[in-house]
Amino acid sequence: MDEPAGTAPPPLPALRGPWWRDTTVYHVYPRSFADGNGDGVGDLPGVIAHLDYLEHLGVETLWLSPFFRSPQADFGYDITDHTDVDPSHGSLADFVHLIDEVHRRGMKLVLDTVLNHTSIEHPWFTASRSGRDDPKRDWYIWRDGQRADGRGRPNNWRNMLGGRGWHHDAGTDQWYWASFLPFQPDLNWRNPDVKAAMLGVVRHWLDLGVDGLRLDVFNAIFKDASFADNPRSLRPLPTGSNPEGFFQRPLHTLDHRDTFALARELRGIVDAYDPPRFVVGEVMGASGVLREYVGAAGEGLHLVFMFDTMGTRFSADGFRRLLADAESAFPAPLQPTWVFSNHDRPRAMLRLGDDPRKAKLLAMLQLTVRGVPFIYYGEEIGLSHVEIPAELGLDPIAARFRWVPRWLARRLRGRGILLNRDECRLPMPWTAAKHAGFSRDDVVPWLPLDPRSGTINVAAQDADPASLLATYRRLLRLRRAHPALHRGAMELSSTGQSAAVLAYRRVDDSESAHVMLNMSDATVDVELPVGVHALHSTIGPCVEVTTGRRRLAPYEGIISLSTDAGPRPAAAAGTRPLR
């Protein structure tokens, strides 16, 4: 590729649609990004100290996993005050400093919002469990047991981890519901006061200037008011495209029509802000269900995650299908999302066999397909997966599944299910220093470092134009500089190339970008489009422009830019009114 890694990113172009449709998101897990205050745990000052790095990388939006007040039993996803910063992560003043610094750089900030539940230590829950007559009793979901003696769970519902989600409270002899872990009781969104309080949380952060919210387990917010049993099923495990599992169909616990209605209501709240903001929902299911959250005409959540991206086999065929599905489920002006790793799932590098050629190819795919890419911290340097035995895990899920034999845990990990999420949350390696520059040499990080941090780190890749980091930087600059890549319509090409090559075209007004990704370990010849004026490859910084036939090395990807846009694909971006 011909743009040197060291150049500054071009200024953000004036876009035709709202900015969030074309942005690139970088997901920071604050505990693991950078320790600014010397306690071994990452924090907001640590993020602030690395904003220059992120700006130079070329990402446009940051999403921060929770940093709110929390006993940290689920590392911030168990909250005791949704509107304050946990002291281990800094202060509200640090947050204000962070948002100012992000905006000063022309970047955006997205926060994680946990609307579904609180910590069991939240003052609301403490009050709620204090007595059946407490005014906060109805803020959570309390039910009598099925048996006359109060025992026997209220129904057969299972939580998202396959366990029984009802928990008995001896003091008041009733059961409370938790969709996730027992110390994360679900709020009762059918109570108008709860709804008002949580929408107040949404407004609190939007009023402070955050540009978007990622909605944690949004699919679980409303449970069916009948409390009827969920139907039985034969499926043992849920997947990204099918939440049915643990031998039941979550008919009454997930994807309730009232949650779809809430998606539309939230859209109204968020769209009232100027400049525009967005929400992205953590929801799962087949594309039809995902589309319900977004709304038939895009009147629901702005974006939803597509988790199938993490379960797709590394093959041209697999990704071709995925792209075709995404195009049909989210036709322009709707936007798919592209995520290959996050703080709950095995890192992409594990699936790629730690092969940097494949990582570069995946980066090229992620940053050139139509949709919003979500890059998980460390993905840009090929931070990999390290097996940490469950008995050493700090993750509450590891504590829960300690009994699972290691061979089975490995097999599940191969299927995208992590029983110890510490493995994908290792400290970001910045340098080859003792603690990888994540924390000071005299402060031990909260999780162990990847043993390869001495060689796989930001400093080592920074000056190497052939590194994965340099590839990300070039791709992000290219995406930003070329409207065809960040807002163009997309068309999958199925003819003329080898089956091992995933090929598609992005088109905007007068420019076309043809992307060809050789997803095999063999060399393949491809036919370049006519009129190419620039060629970018995953292999190296400079590539000569040729015409006609070109040989792609194993796992090489190329982008050919031509000024003659050719006919626009049928469902061209921007041809329908944007919301």
| Token reading at 282 | 């953590």
Q: What is the DSSP string of 250-302?
A: -TTTSS-HHHHHHHHHHHHHHHTSSS--EEEE---S-HHHHHHHH-TTS-S-S
Q: Distance (Å, rounded) from C-alpha 197 to C-alpha 201?
A: 7
User: Which residue, 143 or 400, is less far from ligand NOJ as judged by CB?
Assistant: 400
By CB under 6 A, tell whether 217 contacts ligand NOJ: yes
Out of 3, 43, 55, 74, name the contact with ligand NOJ by CB under 6 A. Answer: 74
DSSP label at residue 11: P
Contact between 528 and ligand NOJ by CB under 6 A: the answer reads: no
Using Cβ positions, the residue closest to ligand NOJ within the complex turns out to be 77
Going from the C-alpha of 25 to that of each of 38, 63, 115, 227, 366, the distances in angstroms are 27, 7, 21, 38, 11
Distances (CA, A) of 303 to 5, 213, 214, 278, 493: 31, 10, 9, 8, 26
Count of all residues that appear for the chain in the document: 579
Helix axes 287-294, 257-271, angle to 10 degrees: 40
Residues 109-128 that bind ligand NOJ (CB under 6 A): 114
Tell me the Cα Rg of the chain: 24
**CB of 420 vs ligand NOJ, minimal distance in Å:** 13
Known active-site residue 216: yes
Residue 376 CB, shortest distance to ligand NOJ, in Å, is 12
Among left, alpha and beta (phi > 0; psi -120 to 50; other), residue 450 is beta
Whole-number minimum distance, CB 463 to ligand NOJ, in Å? 35
Report in angstroms how near the CB of residue 76 gets to ligand NOJ at its nearest: 9
H/E element holding 456? none
From 419, 341, 424, 428, select the one nearest 381 (Cα to Cα): 428
Q: Which is nearer to ligand NOJ, 179 or 518 (CB)?
A: 179
- Binding residue for ligand NOJ, selected from 35, 55, 211, 216, defined by CB under 6 A: 216
Is 70 or 384 the residue whose CB approaches ligand NOJ more closely? 70
Residue 126 CA to its chain's centroid (Å):
32
Structure tokens at 89: 């992560």
Strand partners, 230: none
Query: What phi-psi label fits residue 160: left (phi over 0), alpha (psi between -120 and 50 degrees) or beta?
Result: alpha
User: Does 419 engage in binding with ligand NOJ (CB under 6 A)?
Assistant: no
Report if residue 22 touches ligand NOJ, rule: CB under 6 A: no
Which of 77, 205, 305, 319 is close enough to bind ligand NOJ by CB under 6 A? 77
* Cα–Cα dist 516/539, whole Å: 13
The verdict on 401 binding ligand NOJ (CB under 6 A) reads no
354 contacts 384 by C-beta, under 8 angstroms: yes
CB of residue 29 vs ligand NOJ: minimum separation in angstroms?
9
The answer to the question of residue 340 lying near ligand NOJ (CB under 6 A) is no
**Is residue 390 a contact residue for ligand NOJ (CB under 6 A)?**
no
Task: List the structure tokens of 153.
Answer: 């769970």
Least Å distance, CB 217 to ligand NOJ, is 5
Whether the Cβ atoms of residue 561 and residue 513 lie closer than 8 Å to each other: yes
Bridge partners of 164, per DSSP, are: 158
Nearest to 14 by CA among 569, 487, 335: 487
The CB-of-526 to ligand NOJ minimum distance in angstroms stands at: 39
Q: Where would I find the beta strands (DSSP E) of 419-510?
A: 489-493, 501-508
Q: Which is nearer to ligand NOJ, 187 or 502 (CB)?
A: 187
User: Residue 37 or residue 159: which is nearer to ligand NOJ going by CB?
Assistant: 159
Of residues 546 through 575, those in contact with ligand NOJ by CB under 6 A are none
- Residue 303 binds to ligand NOJ (criterion: CB under 6 A): no
Taking CB under 6 A as the rule, does residue 339 contact ligand NOJ? Answer: no
Paired with 534 in beta bridges are 561
Q: Which of 252, 343, 474, 550 forms a contact with ligand NOJ (CB under 6 A)?
A: 343
If one asks whether residue 180 binds ligand NOJ (CB under 6 A), the answer comes out as yes
| 5 near ligand NOJ, judged by CB under 6 A | no
Instruction: Provide, rounded to whole angstroms, the least separation between the CB of residue 259 and ligand NOJ.
Output: 15
Say whether residue 177 binds ligand NOJ (CB under 6 A). Answer: no
Q: Establish if 260 lies at the interface with ligand NOJ (CB under 6 A).
A: no
Question: Which of 35, 60, 282, 556 does the annotation list as catalytic?
Answer: 282
Residue 383 Cβ vs ligand NOJ, minimum distance, rounded to whole Å:
18
Q: How many CB atoms lie within 10 A of CB 407?
A: 8
Rounded to whole angstroms, what are the CA distances from 11 to 8, 100, 176, 276, 482? 9, 18, 51, 19, 12
If one counts every other C-beta atom within 10 angstroms of the C-beta of residue 297, the result is: 10
Binding to ligand NOJ by residue 60, rule CB under 6 A?
no
Using CB under 6 A as the binding rule, the residues of this chain from 182 to 211 that contact ligand NOJ are none
Nearest to ligand NOJ of 282, 327 (CB atom): 282
Nearer to ligand NOJ among residue 3 and residue 216 (C-beta): 216
| Cis peptide bond upstream of 276, omega within 30 | no
What contacts 304, CB < 8 A, 6 or more positions away?
Answer: 280, 281, 283, 290, 293, 294, 337
In the complex, what is the shortest distance from the CB of residue 202 to ligand NOJ, in angstroms, rounded to a whole number? 16
At position 411, the amino acid (one-letter code) is: R
Is residue 447 part of the contact set for ligand NOJ (CB under 6 A)? no
Closest contact distance (angstroms) between CB of 141 and ligand NOJ is 16
Chosen residue from 81, 138, 258, 344 binding ligand NOJ by CB under 6 A: 344
Tokens encoding 250: 């979550």
282 annotated active-site: yes
Q: Which is nearer to ligand NOJ, 77 or 175 (CB)?
A: 77
- Indicate whether 395 belongs to the interface with ligand NOJ (CB under 6 A): no
Q: How many chain residues touch ligand NOJ (CB under 6 A)? A: 9
The answer to whether residue 283 forms part of the interface with ligand NOJ (CB under 6 A) is no
The identity of residue 367, as a single letter, is L
Catalytic one of 112, 216, 462, 491: 216
Region 497-526 residues binding ligand NOJ, contact defined as CB under 6 A: none
Query: Which residues are catalytic, by number?
Result: 216, 282
Binding site for ligand NOJ (CB under 6 A): 74, 77, 114, 180, 216-217, 282, 343-344
